[in-house]
Structure 1
């Protein structure tokens, strides 16, 4: 085992490792939507992005096939690069969709599908970024002692439920050694994209607040322009 790798025999926590497949399924859905749905981005460029992302995803699945039990420097960087690449590609699609909405390019059904693709992929992509950044990533969250974890980017309800009634407190971070997984970040990203603000989970760091602000802003602008386009068609 290399010096930079966290191995299966070095567990410092009493919590099961996270399953790999929720994040994989979400990634595949985002890539499929990006590749197939209407966009002004040329097919070749879109397929290149999808191909690079799939290659990184396959390598990461081979490294951790079912559960996220180990991490090395390259795998950590690959997880971050994959999520950031999907997010960056979707932001390009977001700008292109906004331009089409403002200039009234394309028919209504194509613009609606493109807007839906950008919005849904945004939810998945931001959830992936939150998931890989918070507290050192999914492997660190279950293997590194809590006092050695990087500062949390987000505060979940379970992080402060230890003094609630028994049936709630038993599921808290302090008593159960609970940590968030991809489903928690997906729900949080979905709620942020729909409410345009934090709901039950609070951002703690500057990077978390900036990422949340970008997601809320893009969702709000997209919704406002889609509604405005619909009103103009009715008129």
Structure 2
């Protein structure tokens, strides 16, 4: 790709709704999570997040084509609030598993809810941070984009066989969407390591390490709890 072509973007603005649907699922899982945190506090977190979602949807109802300082900050704040709230729920779930508080089915459900919310929350954080966010990725000239946090397979497929190369970043102006971040967040939580997408910047590596660690600890304790019940 020449320097001139880098300034001519062909990428289509991303659809708003995949990220919105994922956010609502994460908030629902958090709201109904068995927890010692008072319901009113959890519902307050969910309420604030839903107000932010509504405001962001009204600003970009279908495709992500507009961005202002407040909308950019709101996207980042929303993702971080969900992530931090779920890390608190994660810590509580770990304590309950270690102390064997609560019945087995309740703990299993709580672990599943925390794990699912973690996948969605980390995907949202990756999505809003990488290369300046979803709007910048499709609209800002590539030569002016922020440094990439992640390297996707499409970023280096330009010299592959024709039917693969045509969909690459260099030849088709491909950019990752929320689905791509959700997929590698899911695979990172299950494999406990990068699969097809590699972290490049320190913040990306630390976030992926935290997600892998949380997934590993949760799975190990759930298995240990299950074994103790069998015994």
Check if 1:224 corresponds to 2:220.
Answer: yes
TM-score, structure 2 as length reference: 0.96
Structure 1 stretch 57-66 or stretch 35-44: which is displaced more?
Answer: 35-44
Check if 1:135 corresponds to 2:131.
Answer: yes
The two structures, once aligned, show a CA RMSD in angstroms of 0.8
1:35 to 14, 17, 31: 31
Give unpaired runs (5+ residues) of structure 2: 1-6
Give unpaired runs (5+ residues) of structure 1: 1-10
Quote the Cα distance in structure 2 between the aligned partners of 1:12 and 1:23.
Answer: 26
- Offset, 1:37: 2.7
1:185 to 174, 181, 202: 181
- Alignment match, 2:85: 89
Check if 1:125 corresponds to 2:121.
Answer: yes
Quote the Cα distance in structure 1 between the aligned partners of 2:131 and 2:8.
Answer: 15
Equivalences, count: 225
- Alignment match, 1:49: 45
Check if 1:64 corresponds to 2:43.
Answer: no
- Alignment match, 1:6: none
- Alignment match, 2:153: 157
- Offset, 1:42: 1.2
Quote the Cα distance in structure 2 between the aligned partners of 1:222 and 1:22.
Answer: 26
Quote the Cα distance in structure 2 between the aligned partners of 1:111 and 1:129.
Answer: 26
- Offset, 1:12: 5.0
- Alignment match, 2:191: 195
- Offset, 1:13: 1.4
Check if 1:175 corresponds to 2:164.
Answer: no
